[in-house]
Amino acid sequence: MDIRIRPKKLCGSINIPPSKSMAHRMIICASLATLSCDHDTNIENIAMSDDILATIGAMRSLGLEIEKDLLEGGRYRLKVSGIDGSRNDGLADDYLTIDCGESGSTLRFIIPILSVFAKRYGLVNYRLDTRGRLLQRPLDPYFDILDREGIDYNIDGTSLYIRGMKGFSQSSYEIDGGISSQFISGLLFSLPLMDFDTDIVIKNRLESRGYVDMTLDALYKYGIEVENIDYKTFKIKGNQSYKPVKASVEGDYSQAAFFLVANALGNKVQIKGLDPGSLQLDKEIVDIIDRYDKYYCNEGGDRCIASDLAIGIDATNIPDIVPIMSLLATNYKYPSKISGVERLRIKESDRLQATSSQLRILGKDIEIIGEKEETSLLINGNLDRGNKDQSTGDDYYLVDSFKDHRIAMTLAIAATVSDKDLVIKDAHVVSKSYPNFWDDYKKLGGEVYEFDLG
């Protein structure tokens, strides 16, 4: 679906969606709790984004019973019941298919969990189906483990095949902390269910440490103990059991970031449902906006400069909010440099290229500099380059989401400060993380129309 947005300020209040990161973790913990008890486990305040549906579907494929009850405001309650072993009868020699969609969390969390199901239920052959660029993203830490365990695997197109899965036998796992914290989280979910003690040793710098904190917090809520030694070693006792608890998912700062930045750009959106004490890394957007406010002040509605220093932002731990941070930076006069962004090349799109190219279409001065770990975005803010890279039509800019939900939502906020309409290609991709985004945008007064590009 392509849409056309008219430049208009947003005003009103919204209930921000529940945290996708926490929802993934709670669904997995609740599912694993049913392996050791007969009690149901309930989770309140779930939004049915594409990624969350993938995790629910994955656990259902493994035999878990998960019911959805629609609540007020379009949110859901999940009731997770015990595993239905009969669902998997006769699959010992065939492949059990799990659709991970385009969800990196689903894929990376589920692979170690398969070893638990292989040992307990004899499910040894799996086909993990994916979409988009998901299998282009790194899986090497898991492949190293599978190689050491003698487990066969291969990638064919958009599917990962695993043959002869079994309970992991190693007592120690060395994981590169600089690739993705999701590998650490995946092991943290599964290793407490082994019948021996294990540890995870982190080599190199642990990036996105806050996501590991979120995993540890979820594990603690569900009765699992992990000893964290300065984020360098995690010691896990074996023979633990997840406990059934009633949980509720807090609001999502990564989604709130779009409207928080919108407010910094002159919109007036009241955002409900955020926890000021949240462990979510993307909460840092609040401090980043405050930093800009300290550099620049408002007098009579105009920006005035409080400092001539450039702003530097390290995005190593907050890659998901780089596109919307970049838009924020383009609307201030002095330069900004956003570092720690190399991993954005392997997201749903090459998010570095997508962000810079689409903001240039809107006349913003933004470029990618450096290579590998030195890669950064350099933004000269509040300057119309006067030679926009592309413009289609006399009265609108044609921009592309690159089928990336965060690019689409960034462009929607950019429309509120645009001098012309924006036409966004593949705007429907917001369903990956924020299925009601366009409804909320319209509720706030945004003018959005379907558009036929022919």
Q: What is the mean pLDDT of residues 69-82?
A: 92
Residue 242, token pair as written in the block: 């997840």
β-pairing verdict for 376-380 and 396-400: unpaired
Cβ neighbours of 16 (radius 10 Å): 24
Q: Is the pLDDT of residue 393 over 90?
A: no
What is residue 88's predicted lDDT score, i.e. its pLDDT? 54
What is residue 348's predicted lDDT score, i.e. its pLDDT? 79
37 Cβ contact partners less than 8 Å away, ≥ 6 residues apart: 82, 241, 243, 244
Are 85 and 210 contained in the same domain? Answer: yes
Distance CA 334, CA 309 (A): 7
Are 175 and 261 contained in the same domain? Answer: no
CB 116 within 8 A of CB 167: yes
Q: Give the DSSP H or E segment for 14.
A: strand 11-15
Residue type, 268: K
Average pLDDT, the chain: 91
Residue 83 resides in a domain: yes
| Residue 355 pLDDT level (bands cut at 50, 70, 90) | very high
Binding-site positions read: 20-21, 25, 104, 137, 180-182, 208, 320, 347, 351, 406, 432
Q: What is the mean pLDDT of residues 404-411?
A: 97
Q: What is the mean pLDDT of residues 65-88?
A: 84
Q: Is the pLDDT of residue 31 over 50?
A: yes
Counting the structural domains of the chain, the total is 2
What is residue 306's predicted lDDT score, i.e. its pLDDT? 43
* pLDDT tens per residue across span 188-211: 999 999 999 999 999 998 988 999
What is residue 439's predicted lDDT score, i.e. its pLDDT? 96
Q: Is the pLDDT of residue 428 over 70?
A: yes
278 Cβ contact partners less than 8 Å away, ≥ 6 residues apart: 19, 250, 251, 253
Residue 271 resides in a domain: yes
Residue 32 resides in a domain: yes
Distance CA 79, CA 14 (A): 26
Note the helical H segments in 172-252: 182-190, 209-221
Going by C-alpha positions, the residue among 253, 258, 255, 257 that lies closest to residue 446 is 258
Domain final position from 222, 246, 270: 246
**What is this structure's pTM?**
0.90
What sign has the CA pseudo-torsion 46, 51, 55, 57? positive
Are 166 and 269 contained in the same domain? Answer: no
What is residue 49's predicted lDDT score, i.e. its pLDDT? 96
276 Cβ contact partners less than 8 Å away, ≥ 6 residues apart: none
Residue 3, token pair as written in the block: 């849409």
Going by C-alpha positions, the residue among 137, 134, 87, 142 that lies closest to residue 110 is 142
Are 240 and 254 contained in the same domain? Answer: no
| Residue 129 pLDDT level (bands cut at 50, 70, 90) | very high
Q: What is the mean pLDDT of residues 385-390?
A: 50
What is residue 298's predicted lDDT score, i.e. its pLDDT? 44
Q: Is the pLDDT of residue 89 over 70?
A: no
What is residue 39's predicted lDDT score, i.e. its pLDDT? 84
Are 353 and 415 contained in the same domain? Answer: yes
DSSP reduced 3-state for 49: coil
Catalytic (active site) residue 282: no
Are 274 and 221 contained in the same domain? Answer: no
Distance CA 103, CA 51 (A): 5
Binding-site positions for 3-phosphoshikimate read: 20-21, 25, 180-182, 208, 320, 347
Angle at 340 between CA 226 and CA 361, to 5 degrees: 135
Residue 220, token pair as written in the block: 């603690």
What is residue 94's predicted lDDT score, i.e. its pLDDT? 86
Are 382 and 266 contained in the same domain? Answer: yes
Are 199 and 213 contained in the same domain? Answer: yes
* pLDDT tens per residue across span 135-186: 999 999 999 999 999 999 999 999 999 999 999 999 999 999 989 999 999 9
Are 255 and 208 contained in the same domain? Answer: no
Binding-site positions for phosphoenolpyruvate read: 20, 104, 137, 182, 351, 406, 432
Choosing from 320, 400, 421, 440, the catalytic residue is 320
Residue 352 resides in a domain: yes
What sign has the CA pseudo-torsion 175, 159, 117, 84? positive
Residue 275 resides in a domain: yes
Q: Is the pLDDT of residue 20 over 90?
A: yes
Residue 73 resides in a domain: yes
**Rounded to a whole number, what is the distance in angstroms from the first to the last CA of the chain?**
12
Are 323 and 427 contained in the same domain? Answer: yes
Residue 30 resides in a domain: yes
Express as a percent the part of the chain with pLDDT over 70: 92
Q: Which residue spans within 273-402 are E strands per DSSP?
A: 296-299, 302-305, 311-314, 335-339, 365-369, 376-380, 396-400
CATH of the domain at 219: 3.65.10.10
| Residue 345 pLDDT level (bands cut at 50, 70, 90) | confident
Distance CA 10, CA 12 (A): 7
Calculate the alpha carbon distances from 275 to 91, 248, 303 in Å.
44, 12, 30
Are 127 and 270 contained in the same domain? Answer: no
* pLDDT tens per residue across span 215-272: 999 999 999 999 999 999 999 999 999 999 999 999 999 999 999 999 999 999 999 9
Domain final position from 226, 246, 266: 246
Residue 450, token pair as written in the block: 């379907």
| Residue 93 pLDDT level (bands cut at 50, 70, 90) | low
- The domain in which residue 340 lies consists of 1-15+250-449
Q: Which residue spans within 71-213 are E strands per DSSP?
A: 76-83, 96-99, 126-129, 152-156, 159-163, 172-176, 198-203
Are 187 and 207 contained in the same domain? Answer: yes
CB 233 within 8 A of CB 208: no
Domain final position from 246, 271, 293: 246
Residue 454 resides in a domain: no
For 82-114, give one letter per residue: b (16+ CB within 10 A) or e. Answer: bbeeeebeebeeebbebbbbbbbbbbbbbbbbb
Q: Which residue has the tokens 């405001």?
A: 73
Going by C-alpha positions, the residue among 39, 46, 47 that lies closest to residue 80 is 39
What is residue 387's predicted lDDT score, i.e. its pLDDT? 45
